[in-house]
């Protein structure tokens, strides 16, 4: 991407500013539109770096038009999925940091597809730029970014951190730090390194089970060596140091982790923490052997958390029919497309 180009060519500061302003903030759609540079400079730039590291974007739009999923390809031809979720107050972009995922959580469609590669920071940023340009045409912008698409951010830490630095830089994308959420299943060593960087972004932990045994059965790759006890210890230490709230993602799977007993275990695990539990009902997928929780079960689960003063919310699930909802990104082309 051109951050490397800028360094190598030792461009003067005003040239870099022009490049950043036009690309990231004016949302130009090709190097030809970089009109603050001379024709010769533009031609040289074109020879050296592609305008986008992702191509062949295909769009899939939900019936209510609130969710747009794209499927794009890296230069090696690997699929990358990105999802825009629109509401009255915000336009949240869910981005991928890998093509596929090596972690293989049992409830996640991405984890069942082939792992191709971690994405470069440019491939992460080009997902954002595609939607920035798209929204710009209707005078809208992205208001929030979540690293919750394909892949585990802690297993692609350097590229994720480089991308975050571009997103928060006021001269580049310039989004507020607290508008960015990084979701992780909890690789402890990498998470510690990430938290120590103190980037000021929000962190969400994909918990999904209140006990070590259950977590190991649902997320064996990560949970065996990164125990729930160690993970919670790290998060409590972080909270004491920084006084920041931690969000826990908890996918409700019928008869697996959604009973009143599970809710009690969860409340016990999170007592004494500044925590928010985001409950997400499972989005059924042909490839996965799970079912969503019933409404009755969810109410009972929330009642237990409420009675123990654990902040919780049931998250609206976007884009189910276009396979754009949580855990459904698996290079599957939906029937409802445009």
Query: Within 202-221, which residues bind ligand SF4 (CB under 6 A)?
Result: 206
Choose one: 15-23, 25-33, 68-76, 107-115; the region binding ligand SF4 (CB under 6 A).
107-115
Spatial strand order of the sheet with 202-206 comes to: 55-61, 67-73, 79-86, 91-94, 144-147, 180-184, 202-206, 246-252, 275-281, 311-314
Of 78, 80, 111, 188, the one binding ligand SF4 by CB under 6 A = 111
Question: Is 108 tagged catalytic?
Answer: no
Residue with tokens 């009972």: 300
Exposure letters 4-38 (e unless 16+ CB within 10 A, then b): eeeeeeebeeeebebbbebbbeebbeebeebebbe
Question: Which single residue brings its beta carbon nearest to ligand SF4?
Answer: 111
Looking at the Cβ atoms of 150 and 325, the one nearer to ligand SF4 is 150
Q: Is 211 helix (H, G, I), strand (E, B) or coil?
A: coil
Of 52, 72, 110, 328, the one binding ligand SF4 by CB under 6 A = 110
Phi, psi dihedral angles at 321 (to 5 degrees)? -75, -10
Query: Within 124-153, which residues bind ligand SF4 (CB under 6 A)?
Result: 150-152
Of 5, 49, 55, 104, the one binding ligand SF4 by CB under 6 A = 104
Least distance to ligand SF4, CB of residue 2, Å: 29
Q: Is 216 exposed, middle or buried (0-12, 13-18, 19+ CB in 10 A)?
A: middle
Establish if 247 lies at the interface with ligand SF4 (CB under 6 A). Answer: no
Establish if 108 lies at the interface with ligand SF4 (CB under 6 A). Answer: yes
Give me the half-sphere count of Cα atoms (radius 13 Å) on the Cβ side of residue 37. 26
Task: Tell me the per-residue interface mask from 152 to 191 with ligand SF4, x by CB under 6 A, - otherwise.
Answer: x--------------------------------x------
Residues that bind ligand SF4 (CB under 6 A): 101, 103-105, 108, 110-111, 150-152, 185, 206
């Amino acid at each position: 991407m051109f951050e490397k180009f800028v360094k190598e060519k030792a461009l003067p500061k005003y040239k870099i500013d022009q490049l950043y302003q036009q690309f990231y903030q004016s949302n130009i759609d090709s190097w030809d539109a970089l009109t603050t540079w001379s024709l010769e400079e533009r031609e040289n730039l074109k020879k050296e770096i592609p305008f986008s590291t992702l191509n062949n974007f295909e769009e899939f739009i939900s019936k209510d038009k609130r969710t747009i999923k794209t499927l794009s390809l890296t230069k090696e031809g690997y699929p990358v999925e990105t999802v825009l979720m629109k509401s009255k107050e915000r336009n949240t972009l869910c981005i991928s940091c890998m093509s596929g995922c090596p972690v293989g959580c049992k409830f996640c469609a991405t984890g069942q597809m082939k792992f191709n590669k971690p994405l470069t920071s440019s491939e992460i940023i080009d997902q954002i730029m595609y939607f920035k340009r798209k929204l710009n045409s209707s005078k809208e912008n992205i208001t929030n970014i979540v690293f919750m698409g394909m892949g585990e951010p802690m297993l692609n830490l350097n590229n994720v951190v480089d991308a975050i630095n571009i997103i928060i830089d006021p001269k580049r994308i310039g989004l507020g730090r607290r508008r960015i959420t990084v979701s992780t299943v909890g690789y402890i060593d990498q998470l510690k390194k990430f938290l120590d960087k103190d980037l000021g972004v929000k962190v969400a932990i994909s918990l999904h089970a209140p006990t070590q045994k259950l977590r190991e059965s649902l997320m064996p790759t990560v949970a065996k060596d990164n125990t729930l006890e160690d993970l919670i210890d790290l998060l409590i230490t972080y909270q004491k140091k920084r006084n920041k709230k931690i969000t826990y993602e908890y996918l409700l799977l019928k008869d697996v982790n959604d009973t009143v007993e599970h809710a009690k275990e969860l409340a016990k695990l999170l007592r004494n923490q500044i925590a928010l539990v985001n409950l997400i009902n499972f989005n059924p997928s042909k490839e996965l052997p799970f079912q969503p929780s019933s409404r009755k079960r969810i109410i009972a689960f929330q009642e237990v958390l409420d009675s123990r003063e654990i902040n919780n919310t049931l998250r609206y699930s976007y884009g189910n029919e276009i396979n754009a909802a949580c855990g459904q990104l698996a290079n599957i082309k939906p029937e409802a497309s445009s």
